Amino acid sequence: MAEILPFAAIRPAVDKAPFVVSRSWDDYLPRDRNAEMRANPFSFLHIIDPGFKFNTALSGVKRHKLVRNRYLEFLEEGILVKEDRPSFYIYQSSRPGFTCRGIFCATSTNSYRQGLIRPHEDTIRRREELFADYLEQVRFNAEPVLLTYPDHPGVAGSISAALDNPPEYHFTTPDRVEHKLWIVSETKTVAAIRDAFREIPALYIADGHHRSASSDLLARRLQEANPSHSGKEPYNYFMSYLIPESQVRIRSFHRLLRELGGMDPASILMQLDAHFRIKPLGAKPFEPAEKHTFSMYMDGAYYELRLRKESQGGDSFRNRLDVHILNDRVLKPVFGITDPRRDQRLAYRYWENPAHELKAEVDSGRFAAGFGMVPATMEEIRQVADSGETMPPKSTFLEPKLRSGLTIYDI
């Protein structure tokens, strides 16, 4: 089992919580982010973008030092407060059609190294190093790693039993998401939750692969620099949000090609015929509903691409995933895309209404073709992680997307 611990969070003062928490930095358009910061002096965005007050874009060590300064200012002004004892934090978010409930805790970098916290995506070493540098300077973790586990009645029962008291926070943000947070600090309840999680063999990274890897890298650095290292220091842990598989929503990232490599549609279709049964669908938007079936839109027309039986399978479970099939049977052999992470011809998009949006992007002239597929399942993601294999970049879009600044872990 992975080690999880309660921790004494830094969190918003109750009356400031609706104003402090923010969406992830990348979720905002620049103009919307700037408008939010101008209107709301309590937004956590002011900590993440400390140069805003100087109308200056900052980077590197200079930015990191000012992030730390803003964080300390929020504490000094009482916008943020420190919990007086280690606690678990049960967080529930609700919007029409989607509710999830999980637990904020500290998770062990040692468990990550031992393979008890399992990834399904590769990370880029340079990004790990940059984020580890950031964490070492600012000394706090405000964006939890999203971890998931197979549904377990004992865990569900232990969490439900902790909800007898009213939540510490209960508010709704302008995007109509309702937020509730319960603080669990009573010794017996904390022990019951930890005991229940001991029955979970492994946890799976749903979102936050680079955050996990960077936290582990930082822990290794600080362990080496600390002659009195005990293993219990805060840097040996990182903040996570644990949620059962049934409450994770998985969507697909669609692929868009900027150009067709000088080929005409007929030539592309003939090459695809080697591995796919192709059905022309005209201009009517189409979204696939079955595994091994893909949508393709180019030159004003949709096509259904259904993988031929003789092209299915392979020695590795990984190679039977639709995201790998699209790479190995379409993008690489037909368009010459051998590195989907870095090839500038390829773009990734997530939409609520993908068939219409994909068509609109291509019809706009910004892209020459687009591809869609059904999303992976949590079972598939778990199998990939258990086998020690990985999925390509942007294989899945997972929800919930967590807020920044709701709970903060001091490193």
Whether residue 73 is contained in a domain is answered as: yes
Between CA 21 and CA 179, with CA 183 as vertex, the angle to 5 degrees is: 40
Q: Considering the domain boundaries, does residue 231 fall inside one? A: yes
Tell me whether residue 388 is in a domain.
no
User: Quick one: pLDDT at residue 13?
Assistant: 98
- The 3-state DSSP class for residue 317 equals helix
How many Å apart are CA 274 and CA 333, to the nearest integer?
11
The answer to whether residue 383 sits within a structural domain is no
Residues in Cβ contact with 56 at an 8 Å cutoff, skipping those fewer than 6 apart:
none
Is 110 found in the same domain as 38? yes
Q: What is the DSSP letter of 362?
A: H
Output Rg (C-alpha) for the chain, integer angstroms. Answer: 23
A 10 A CB-CB count for 335 gives: 20
372-392 pLDDT, tens digit per residue, is 999 999 999 999 999 998 888
| Residue 278 and residue 237 share a domain | no
How far apart, in whole angstroms, are the C-alpha atoms of residue 214 and residue 216? Answer: 5
Please give the span between the terminal C-alpha atoms of the chain, in angstroms, as a whole number. 23
Phi, psi of 3 (to 5 degrees): -80, 125
Domain co-membership, 180 together with 298: no
- Beta strand 117-118 pairing with 203-207: parallel
The pLDDT of 123-141, averaged and rounded, is: 94
Between CA 144 and CA 212 the distance in angstroms is 9
- Whether 73 and 169 share a structural domain: yes
Pairing assessment for the beta strands 88-95 and 145-149 based on DSSP bridges: unpaired
Residue 47, C-beta contacts closer than 8 angstroms, at least 6 positions apart = 67, 70, 71, 74, 142, 405
pLDDT interval class at 346 (50, 70, 90): very high
Do 30 and 117 sit in the same domain of this protein?
A: yes
Cβ atoms 51, 58 nearer than 8 A: yes
Number of domains the chain contains: 2
pLDDT value, residue 314: 67
For residue 26, pLDDT over 90 is answered with no
- Phi–psi pair at 102, nearest 5 degrees: -150, -165
| Burial class of residue 327 in the structure, from the number of CB atoms within 10 Å of its CB (0-12 exposed, 13-18 middle, 19+ buried) | buried
Ramachandran region of residue 403, left (φ > 0), alpha (ψ -120 to 50) or beta? beta
Per-position b or e across 140-174, b if 16+ CB within 10 A of its CB? bbbbbbbbbbeeeeebeebbeebeeeeeebeeebe
Instruction: Identify the band that residue 367 occupies on the pLDDT scale cut at 50, 70 and 90.
Output: very high
pLDDT of residue 151: 96
Contact, 122 vs 187, CB < 8 A?
Answer: no
- Indicate if 167 and 281 belong to the same structural domain: no
Residue 342 within a domain: yes
Q: What is the mean pLDDT of residues 84-110?
A: 97
**Which has more confidence, 318 or 44?**
44
Q: What is the CATH number of the domain that holds 358?
A: 3.30.1760
C-alpha closest to that of 334 among 379, 276, 389:
276
* Mean pLDDT of the 51-76 span: 95
Report the mean per-residue pLDDT for the chain.
94
Q: Is 393 within a domain?
A: no
The answer as to whether 391 is a domain residue is no
Query: Is 211 a member of any domain?
Result: yes
Same domain, 165 and 197: yes
245, two tokens: 């598989």
CB atoms within 10 A of CB 237: 25
If asked whether residues 226 and 129 sit together in one domain, one would say yes
Question: Looking at the structure, do residues 228 and 246 belong to the same domain, yes or no?
Answer: yes
For the segment 293-324, what is each residue's pLDDT rounded down to a tens digit?
Answer: 999 999 999 999 999 998 887 666 777 899 99
Identify whether residues 269 and 202 lie together within a single domain. Answer: no
154 with 300, same domain: the answer is no
The tokens describing 48, both together, are: 């993440």
- The whole-number pLDDT of residue 307 equals 97
| Tens digit of each residue's pLDDT (9 = 90 or more) over 225-240 | 999 999 999 999 999 9
For a pLDDT cut of 90, what percent of the chain falls above it? 84
* pTM reported for the whole predicted model: 0.90
State the pLDDT at residue 109: 98
Domain extent for 328: 253-374
> Same structural domain for residues 234 and 296?
no
